[in-house]
């Protein structure tokens, strides 16, 4: 017997800096579907900020569609890609399991079972909201191919930059420095056990620079601090903004290389063997690192998103990842925080 339809609420961006909660009716899960009740989702100041501001360029409207997105860019659009919840109906082997899904901010949803990934033992659901960002960071390392002993600068201490720095720290002998214009990011660097420096104090002659600040000035700094024949990997996405770079003077004589990295496809070196699902499973495994709790800088209730989202994503904000808490997210007494 099929379960009756379930009501849910979803957050929609309706204009620049504006949003609202809208009701939606969920179909009963089919034989290959699961019903997920959301516990947490995450908001970071990257792609979602550009979506909230209506700055997705028309040429990228199709490319930037998120899984299970509804509506169209610029507005109204239901967007998001970092949801953690519990399976309450559907596939028997997943029933009751905690899972991650690339789904917009919504209190419950029905998706194909292949769209969810069970959390590994040892990963609290509260931290699992970083999974999409960890996928981006992991893909960036595959694109950058850092080597043991290299001097590595990571410019931009947002969520992705911090995750990249933490991963690079585990490379034997690597000298990793995280750089940001916000001096308070030094405390985050301490929690991640990496060095910190303001961008204008970075040592030159870096073997590898990964740029994730989202600002043209940060990429210009990357060009300035890369050593001869150094590699620069660009992780930032600028939306409709144009970036001017100093590609004259010594750019050619120093034989610098700028490469892009984007999470939409698995990095070419890994693509023959790695699927998106395998990469996501590895990203969740890498999140079993308590130091990464330093990237969760606040919590907001799902019901307050229309009022708080504009402030969370406003220019000049200092938040890293805000965790959205949904009704019913409290763990029953004695229940473990992982499946």
If asked whether residues 145 and 161 sit together in one domain, one would say yes
Name the strands in the sheet holding 6-15, side by side, starting at the edge strand that comes first in the sequence.
18-26, 6-15, 77-78, 70-71
pLDDT at 308: 84
If asked whether residues 147 and 249 sit together in one domain, one would say yes
Between CA 312 and CA 165, with CA 277 as vertex, the angle to 5 degrees is 50
pLDDT band of 338, cuts 50, 70, 90? very low
Kindly give, in sequence order, each residue whose CB lies less than 8 Å from that of residue 282, ignoring residues fewer than 6 positions away. 138
CA–CA separation, 48 and 129 (whole Å) = 14
Kindly give, in sequence order, each residue whose CB lies less than 8 Å from that of residue 12, ignoring residues fewer than 6 positions away. 19, 20, 21, 22, 71, 76, 77, 78
Which tens digits make up the pLDDT trace of 107-124? 999 999 999 999 999 999
Residue range 245-274: mean pLDDT, rounded? 96
Last residue of a domain, one of 242, 260, 278: 260
If asked whether residues 47 and 69 sit together in one domain, one would say yes
The answer to whether residue 254 sits within a structural domain is yes
CA–CA separation, 214 and 316 (whole Å) = 12
Q: Per the structure block, which two tokens stand in for 50?
A: 């550009």
Q: Per the structure block, which two tokens stand in for 84?
A: 């953690």
If asked whether residues 78 and 191 sit together in one domain, one would say no
pLDDT at 117: 98
If asked whether residues 300 and 211 sit together in one domain, one would say no
Work out how many domains the chain is built from and give that number. 2
The answer to whether residue 243 sits within a structural domain is yes
If asked whether residues 51 and 91 sit together in one domain, one would say yes
Please choose, from the candidates 26, 30, 112, the residue with its C-alpha nearest in 3D space to the C-alpha of residue 67. Answer: 112
Whether pTM > 0.75 for this model: the answer is yes
Domain span at residue 302 reads: 6-127+292-325
Helix ranges (DSSP H) in the chain: 47-52, 131-144, 159-169, 185-192, 216-225, 276-286, 305-312
The answer to whether residue 266 sits within a structural domain is no
pLDDT at 332: 44
The DSSP-derived string for 254-295 is: TT-EEEE--TTS--TTTTTT--HHHHHHHHHHHT--GGGGGG
pLDDT at 5: 57
Task: Give percent above pLDDT 70 in the chain.
Answer: 95
The answer to whether residue 222 sits within a structural domain is yes
């Amino acid at each position: 017997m099929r379960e009756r339809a379930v009501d849910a609420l979803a957050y929609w961006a309706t204009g620049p800096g504006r949003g609202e909660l809208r009701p939606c009716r969920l179909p009963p899960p089919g034989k290959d579907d699961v019903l997920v009740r959301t516990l947490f989702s995450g908001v970071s100041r990257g792609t979602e900020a550009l979506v909230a501001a209506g700055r997705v360029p028309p040429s990228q409207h199709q490319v930037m569609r998120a899984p299970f997105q509804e509506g169209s860019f610029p507005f109204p659009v239901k967007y998001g890609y970092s949801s953690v919840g519990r399976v309450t109906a559907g596939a028997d082997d997943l029933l009751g399991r905690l899972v991650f899904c690339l789904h917009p901010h919504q209190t419950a949803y029905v998706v194909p079972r292949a769209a969810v990934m069970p959390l590994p033992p040892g990963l609290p659901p509260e931290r699992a909201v970083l999974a999409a960002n960890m996928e981006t960071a992991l893909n960036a390392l595959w694109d950058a191919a850092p080597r043991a002993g290299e001097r590595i600068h990571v410019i931009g201490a947002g969520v992705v930059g911090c995750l990249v720095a933490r991963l690079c720290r585990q490379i034997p002998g690597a000298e990793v420095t995280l750089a940001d214009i916000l001096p308070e990011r030094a405390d985050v660097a301490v929690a991640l056990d990496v060095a910190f420096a303001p961008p204008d104090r970075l040592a030159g002659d870096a073997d590898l620079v990964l740029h994730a600040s989202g600002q043209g000035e940060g990429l210009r700094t990357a060009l300035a601090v890369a050593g001869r024949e150094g590699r620069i990997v660009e992780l930032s996405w600028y939306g409709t903004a144009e970036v001017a770079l100093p590609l004259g003077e010594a750019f050619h004589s120093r034989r610098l290389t700028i490469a892009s990295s984007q999470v939409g496809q698995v990095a070419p070196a890994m693509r023959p063997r790695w699927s998106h699902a395998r990469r996501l499973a590895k990203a969740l495994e890498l999140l079993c690192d308590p130091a990464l709790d330093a990237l969760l800088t606040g919590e907001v209730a799902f019901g307050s998103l229309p009022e708080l989202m504009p402030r969370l994503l406003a220019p000049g904000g200092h938040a890293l990842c805000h965790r959205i808490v949904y009704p019913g997210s409290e763990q029953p007494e004695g229940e473990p925080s992982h499946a």
